[in-house]
């Protein structure tokens, strides 16, 4: 008998935002049920950010050791993937076991129900578990945090081959000799460079004219140059017409060329987990490209949504930022409202590509009076001292009308850290005149921000 159980809040999907919200709501005294069909914690800790950044940390250590030859003397480097695989297995994912996440939530008072959650009208969720169905009626409402899964394009011959996505790539215990990477977005390029530094022969195939398409063109150009110098082949402006598999992969490209590799990594974006979620029962279009939310994360009657499905950037920090807003609203507090003008992100290639706010093109499309400033990292004091591995640029985008920055991109060693001050500038709309009168410690990478601001002319 599936008697409906009444609770305060049901959180469907426990990715970073759902996990955070469930814990905070339970700590505030609400009766919270968290529904999860996979691993509690979601993509980031088990298949995304954390394992991939451990791979990158190891790969960067190799690259830095190799650079020692020009700065300090020969270093013998013998890459050992087993160290990375072990660290991901034991430290990052606890053998892909989510019990530490579960314990934290249960200690806060959250009841976890394992299974697939499906909306059944406003405030109602039916969960299909291993032992049958359970229905919950959520008096305050339902929070959706169902996230994404790897999107696999309908390329002829691909289905049924043993290709990898990020889910397999983070679980490798041994590396292939060669790897074709389909997709030159953040996931594809991060993993491509990490594997290349461990000696895998890499070819990246990107259908757009450049890798890292949404970033400033200067960033794509620098990363492409670094990749080519590191021996990574980058093929852009062509899709894959056909995939053949027989002990190894052969990609037949639309422009007639072909790529042969032992393995294939598909990194062509993400698909929203909206199938079978019952969105139509609450008046939301299940075929939409995102779940529309207002600035309090409300998505409908007694319905909130956070994370990748909201279309504001597929990043852990966005999911958690939105969760905090949703929690305040669910608790009836007059909390903060969502604001994405100062949204920042980092692609952890080496050099890192970090950006905040608008690109130059986005600012022009928005009709602003745009002025840009640029400083090349190799010519900066710290970049010149750093030497090996100093590729990069800082680009700032100003609205000359208001005298503030509306966007910035940093391509540099530790670019994500350098971005911090520019994020503050964009978020708080600090006047360019004020920024110019800051002290920029010598000789830091962030000191190049001063040169980029100087290059803006009379803003």
Ligand X SMILES: Cc1cc2nc3c(=O)[nH]c(=O)nc-3n(C[C@H](O)[C@H](O)[C@H](O)COP(=O)(O)OP(=O)(O)OC[C@H]3O[C@@H](n4cnc5c(N)ncnc54)[C@H](O)[C@@H]3O)c2cc1C
Sign for the CA dihedral angle at 284, 286, 287, 292 comes to positive
Regarding beta strands 201-206 and 233-236, do their DSSP bridges make them parallel or antiparallel, or are they unpaired?
Answer: parallel
Asked if residue 93 binds ligand X (CB under 6 A), the reply is no
Asked if residue 184 binds ligand X (CB under 6 A), the reply is no
Q: Which is nearer to ligand X, 169 or 456 (CB)?
A: 169
* Residue-wise DSSP of 80-147: -HHHHHHHIIIIISTTT--HHHHHHHHHHTPEEEESEEEE-STTEEEEEETTEEEEEEEEEEEEE---
Asked if residue 268 binds ligand X (CB under 6 A), the reply is no
CA dist., res. 337 & res. 327, Å (int)? 12
Which of residues 10, 32, 36, 134 is near ligand X by CB under 6 A?
A: 36
Q: Which residue is nearest to ligand X, using beta carbons?
A: 147
3-state class (DSSP) for residue 191: helix
Which of residues 20, 25, 110, 116 is near ligand X by CB under 6 A?
A: 116
Closest contact distance (angstroms) between CB of 416 and ligand X is 9
Asked if residue 60 binds ligand X (CB under 6 A), the reply is no
Asked if residue 277 binds ligand X (CB under 6 A), the reply is yes
Which of residues 141, 147, 185, 342 is near ligand X by CB under 6 A?
A: 147
310 token code pair: 């909201």
| Count of other CB atoms within 10 angstroms of residue 184 | 27
Could you tell me which stretch among 20-28, 309-317, 382-390, 433-441 binds ligand X (CB under 6 A)? 309-317
155 sits in which H/E element: none
Asked if residue 34 binds ligand X (CB under 6 A), the reply is no
Asked if residue 195 binds ligand X (CB under 6 A), the reply is no
Could you tell me which stretch among 37-45, 198-206, 389-397, 436-444 binds ligand X (CB under 6 A)? 37-45
# of chain residues touching ligand X (CB under 6 A):
37
208 sits in which H/E element: none
CA dist., res. 243 & res. 334, Å (int)? 54
- Spell out the residues 6+ positions from residue 321 whose beta carbon is closer than 8 angstroms to its own: 338
Closest contact distance (angstroms) between CB of 35 and ligand X is 5
- What 312-319 contacts at long range (C-beta under 8 Å, 24+ apart), as own/partner pairs, is 312/338, 312/340, 312/343, 313/340, 313/343, 313/345, 314/148, 314/270, 315/345, 316/16, 316/44, 316/48, 316/49, 317/344, 318/343, 319/15, 319/16, 319/17, 319/20, 319/145
Could you tell me which stretch among 2-10, 34-42, 77-85, 256-264 binds ligand X (CB under 6 A)? 34-42
Closest contact distance (angstroms) between CB of 10 and ligand X is 10
Q: Which is nearer to ligand X, 261 or 319 (CB)?
A: 319
Which of residues 21, 26, 48, 184 is near ligand X by CB under 6 A?
A: 48
Q: Which is nearer to ligand X, 39 or 404 (CB)?
A: 39
Which of residues 23, 32, 34, 52 is near ligand X by CB under 6 A?
A: 52
Give the residue among 143, 108, 176, 109 at the shortest CA–CA distance from 11. 143
Closest contact distance (angstroms) between CB of 344 and ligand X is 10
Regarding beta strands 5-12 and 132-144, do their DSSP bridges make them parallel or antiparallel, or are they unpaired?
Answer: parallel
Asked if residue 308 binds ligand X (CB under 6 A), the reply is yes
Closest contact distance (angstroms) between CB of 453 and ligand X is 27
CA dist., res. 7 & res. 140, Å (int)? 8
Could you tell me which stretch among 42-50, 58-66, 355-363, 403-411 binds ligand X (CB under 6 A)? 42-50
Could you tell me which stretch among 61-69, 143-151, 351-359, 395-403 binds ligand X (CB under 6 A)? 143-151
Which of residues 23, 148, 297, 372 is near ligand X by CB under 6 A?
A: 148
Q: Which is nearer to ligand X, 324 or 360 (CB)?
A: 324
214 token code pair: 């949404």
CA atoms within 13 A on the CB side of 178: 15
Asked if residue 17 binds ligand X (CB under 6 A), the reply is yes
Asked if residue 16 binds ligand X (CB under 6 A), the reply is yes
Asked if residue 111 binds ligand X (CB under 6 A), the reply is no
Asked if residue 293 binds ligand X (CB under 6 A), the reply is no
* Residue-wise DSSP of 257-291: -EEEESEEEE---EEES-TTS-GGGGT--TTSSS-
Rg (CA), the chain: 24
| Count of other CB atoms within 10 angstroms of residue 136 | 23
- The footprint of ligand X (CB under 6 A) covers 12-17, 35-39, 42-44, 47-49, 52-53, 116-117, 145-148, 166, 187, 273, 277, 307-308, 314-317, 319, 348
């Amino acid at each position: 008998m599936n008697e409906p159980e009444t609770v305060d809040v049901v959180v469907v999907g426990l990715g970073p935002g759902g996990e955070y919200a469930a814990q905070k709501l339970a700590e505030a005294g609400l009766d919270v049920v968290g529904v999860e069909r996979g691993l509690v914690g979601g993509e980031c800790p088990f298949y995304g950010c954390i394992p991939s950044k451990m791979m990158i940390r190891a790969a960067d250590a190799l690259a830095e050791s190799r650079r020692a030859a020009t700065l300090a003397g020969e270093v013998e480097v013998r890459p050992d993937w087993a160290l990375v695989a072990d660290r991901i297995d034991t430290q990052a994912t606890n053998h892909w076991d989510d019990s530490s996440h579960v314990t934290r939530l249960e200690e806060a008072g959250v009841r976890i129900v394992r299974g697939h959650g499906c909306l059944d009208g406003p405030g109602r969720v039916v969960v299909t578990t291993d032992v049958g169905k359970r229905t919950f009626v959520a008096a305050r409402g339902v929070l959706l945090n169902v996230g994404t899964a790897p999107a696999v394009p309908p390329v002829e011959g691909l289905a049924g081959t043993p290709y990898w996505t990020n889910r397999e790539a983070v679980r490798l215990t041994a590396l292939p000799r060669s790897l074709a990477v389909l997709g030159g977005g953040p996931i594809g390029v991060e993993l491509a460079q990490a594997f290349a530094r461990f000696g895998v022969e890499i070819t990246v195939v990107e259908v757009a004219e450049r890798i890292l398409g949404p970033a400033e063109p200067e960033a794509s150009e620098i990363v492409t140059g670094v990749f080519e110098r590191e021996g990574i082949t980058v093929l852009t402006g062509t899709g894959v017409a056909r995939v053949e598999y027989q002990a190894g992969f052969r990609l037949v490209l639309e422009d007639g060329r072909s790529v042969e590799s032992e393995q294939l990594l598909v990194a062509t974006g993400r698909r929203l987990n909206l199938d079978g979620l019952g969105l139509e029962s609450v008046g939301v279009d299940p075929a939409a490209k995102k779940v529309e939310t207002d600035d309090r994360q409300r998505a409908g009657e007694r319905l909130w949504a956070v994370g990748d499905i909201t279309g504001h950037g597929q990043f852990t920090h966005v999911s958690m930022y939105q969760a905090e807003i949703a929690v305040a609203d669910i608790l009836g507090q007059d909390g903060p409202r969502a604001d994405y003008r100062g949204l920042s992100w980092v692609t952890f290639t080496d050099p890192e590509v970090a950006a905040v706010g608008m690109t130059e093109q986005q600012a022009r499309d928005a009709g602003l009076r745009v002025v840009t400033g640029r400083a090349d990292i190799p010519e900066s004091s710290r970049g010149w001292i750093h030497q090996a591995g100093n590729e990069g640029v800082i680009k700032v985008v100003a609205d000359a009308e208001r005298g503030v920055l509306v966007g910035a991109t940093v391509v540099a060693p530790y670019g994500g850290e350098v971005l911090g001050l520019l994020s503050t500038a964009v978020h708080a709309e600090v006047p360019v005149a004020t920024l110019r009168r800051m002290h920029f410690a010598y000789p830091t990478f962030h000191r190049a921000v001063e040169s980029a601001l100087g290059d803006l002319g009379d803003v």
